[in-house]
Homo-oligomer: A and B are copies of this chain.
């Protein structure tokens, strides 16, 4: 059962990649790198030919484009291919006109995903926003649909979640139903932060769970396979 390479420096060497046909939770507080990890993985995968669906709920696609560009990742050529190799679903900008979240956002998203997910890698940035606006049982039903789709259509599907925006039980409930989970942490250490990633859960690979240190650089996340976490 081969794992899919992330192309992120040092990660594949430490962890061995991520399993196909799975829903992976990226769990971490503000500024810990959850979104960066997803963006780097997706950009590397797109360059190798995969189709990307990026669902952005809390900021406009252009903010994501700028974040990517600031780390040297230019997605314009990928977006302009026919059909596009990189596709944004913009769930942010439409709210401006309405001045509130559409009651049908969750339904719309699950419908769009169902239609377009074939052969794609996706990210929902963020599941936290959905948990804030919808009942957890409805969000869980949406994730269950994604689990079904991943089994039928393949691909790796990221959910970005900020654990501090939710109570402990909500975090563990989402953690419980996904196929894998990576937790990003930043601990104050003198004038800077010590960063680490924990493999909290991995489908068919529980025995591989471990903790690895990483740095945020101007090129993005770099894992330090030789560095020990205190």
Contact = CB atoms under 8 A, between A and B. Distances in A.
Nearest to A168: B164
Interface of A: 1, 29-31, 33, 36, 58-60, 62-63, 66-67, 70, 92, 95-96, 99-101, 126, 128, 132-133, 137, 140-141, 144-145, 147-148, 151, 162, 164-169, 171-173, 175-177, 181, 186, 188, 190-193, 198, 200-207, 209-212, 215-218, 228-230
A4 to B, nearest CB: 16
Contacts of A67: 203-204
Contacts of A230: 190
B70 A201 contact: no
A209 B166 contact: no
A99 B137 CA distance: 11
A34 to B, nearest CB: 10
Contacts of A126: 176
A206 B28 CA distance: 13
Contact of A151 (B62, B198, B209, B228): B62
